[in-house]
Structure 1
Amino acid sequence: MFRVILVGRLEESARKAARWLIERTPIRSLRDWGIAFSLWPVHLTTSCCGAEFAATSAPKYDAERYGFLPFLSPRNTNLLLIEGTLTVKMARAARIIWEQMPWPKFAIAMGACAMSGGVFYNSYNVVPAWKVVPIDVYIPGCPPRPEAVARAILRLQEKVRRGEYEPRDVEDKKFLEELMAPVMEELKRNMPEALIDVASGQKNE
């Protein structure tokens, strides 16, 4: 049915064949469908938006019918849901969680505070979510209604089913390095050198 010529080392050839099967055949559509209905979020509830998301998860709106199931460990999730204000300290925690999540992974910024700082936009200690992780869907509002959250989930599903989820990162790398510098210094003092690259996300994929 398919004719593929593999040249080179066996491991490299197998990797090329797997990539070809996923990217050039109907298998990709099945993969995208599976990911779209397996959005497992880790919640960063830092303000009132968390209450609205709780309403979205309640029986009236039933977010679980979209395959939207929360997990405790970031290593078992693929969606970072930022529900409110990110202080500098919380932004560092958000980035660490993001690095622990396996690819493909997505992020939703919920509410005005997560999008731009909201009423705290000019505070010295507030960071917009898009400066910390690459955001796929924004949910405006203060706080957004449950209907808006459900629509955002559907919008992300549509994006995934179109295959629009290549690996990417924030644009302002210098800001991110300055933000995470204290964390990296702490890692260097308390962790073996071999694990620092893993903690910083360099070997996450």
Structure 2
Amino acid sequence: MSLKTLSRKNCIHVMLAYTGGCNGCDIEVVNCVLSPFYDAEQYNVLLTWNPREADILIVTGCVTKAVTKSLKKIYEEIPEPKAVVAVGACALMGGVYKHIGADLGTSSFIDGPVENVIPVDVKVPGCPPRPEDIITGIVKALPKILEG
């Protein structure tokens, strides 16, 4: 077993990418990973801000045109095997932001949902989703990481 495989089985690093919206989903993600109540760290699920350390990319928000290029770059920098978890109504459908601008006859300011920009492995619906659902989404992404 390689060192990389052994490390991944013992500790999963998740990276949070906020791509626009109200920040409700971001609060829930950080709440489920860092708060003492849910404390995903006790199961060795750690939050990182370095894409080269990440195993799972958690994306929240509607993916504005301003962050599309950055999101693609972050995705490319995460080593294989990797998984993407899209969290919240904005990440899955554009949420309330998908029609802004379109009503005025101008183009929308978003490129989302996330799956329009990068591949998505797990979808967690809600506005905002419950921390339990986010943890379940992370767990659903683990087989791709551990078996990949």
Do Structure 1 and Structure 2 share a fold, with TM-score over 0.5? yes
**Counterparts of 2:145 and 2:55, CA distance in 1:** 12
- Code of the residue aligned with 1:80 in structure 2: it is L
**Counterparts of 1:74 and 1:101, CA distance in 2:** 5
- Code of the residue aligned with 1:142 in structure 2: it is C
1:156 counterpart = 2:137: no
Question: Which structure 1 residue ranges, 5 or more long, are not aligned?
Answer: 1-26, 166-205
The answer for the alignment partner of 1:111 in structure 2 is: 88
The answer for the alignment partner of 1:88 in structure 2 is: 65
Give the Å deviation of 1:160.
4.0
Q: 84, 99, 110: which one pairs with 2:76?
A: 99
Larger Rg over CA atoms: 1
Q: 9, 14, 18: which one pairs with 1:41?
A: 14
What pairs up with 1:59-78 in 2 under 5 angstroms?
Answer: 59-78=36-55
How many residues are treated as equivalent by the alignment? Answer: 135
Give the Å deviation of 1:159.
4.4
Q: 1:160 to 1:100 in 2, by over 3 A?
A: closer
Identity %: 31
Question: Which structure 2 residue ranges, 5 or more long, are not aligned?
Answer: 101-107
Give the Å deviation of 1:70.
1.6
Q: 1:87 to 1:143 in 2, by over 3 A?
A: same
- Code of the residue aligned with 1:117 in structure 2: it is G
Contact conserved, 2:123 with 2:137, CA < 8 A, in 1? yes
Contact conserved, 1:36 with 1:158, CA < 8 A, in 2? no
**Counterparts of 1:85 and 1:37, CA distance in 2:** 32
Give the Å deviation of 1:36.
5.2
**Counterparts of 1:148 and 1:37, CA distance in 2:** 22
The answer for the alignment partner of 2:29 in structure 1 is: 53
**Structure showing the higher helix proportion among its residues:** 1
Q: 1:74 to 1:153 in 2, by over 3 A?
A: same
**Structure showing the higher strand proportion among its residues:** 2
**Counterparts of 2:65 and 2:14, CA distance in 1:** 22
- Code of the residue aligned with 2:13 in structure 1: it is W
Q: TM-score, normalised by structure 1?
A: 0.59
Q: Deviations 1:129-161 (Å, cap 9, x if unpaired)?
A: 001111111100000011101111221124445
Secondary structure in 2 matching 1:88: coil
Q: TM-score, normalised by structure 2?
A: 0.79
**Counterparts of 1:36 and 1:139, CA distance in 2:** 23
The answer for the alignment partner of 2:109 in structure 1 is: 125
Secondary structure in 2 matching 1:97: helix
**Counterparts of 2:145 and 2:52, CA distance in 1:** 20
What pairs up with 1:135-150 in 2 under 5 angstroms?
Answer: 135-150=120-135
Contact conserved, 2:83 with 2:121, CA < 8 A, in 1? yes
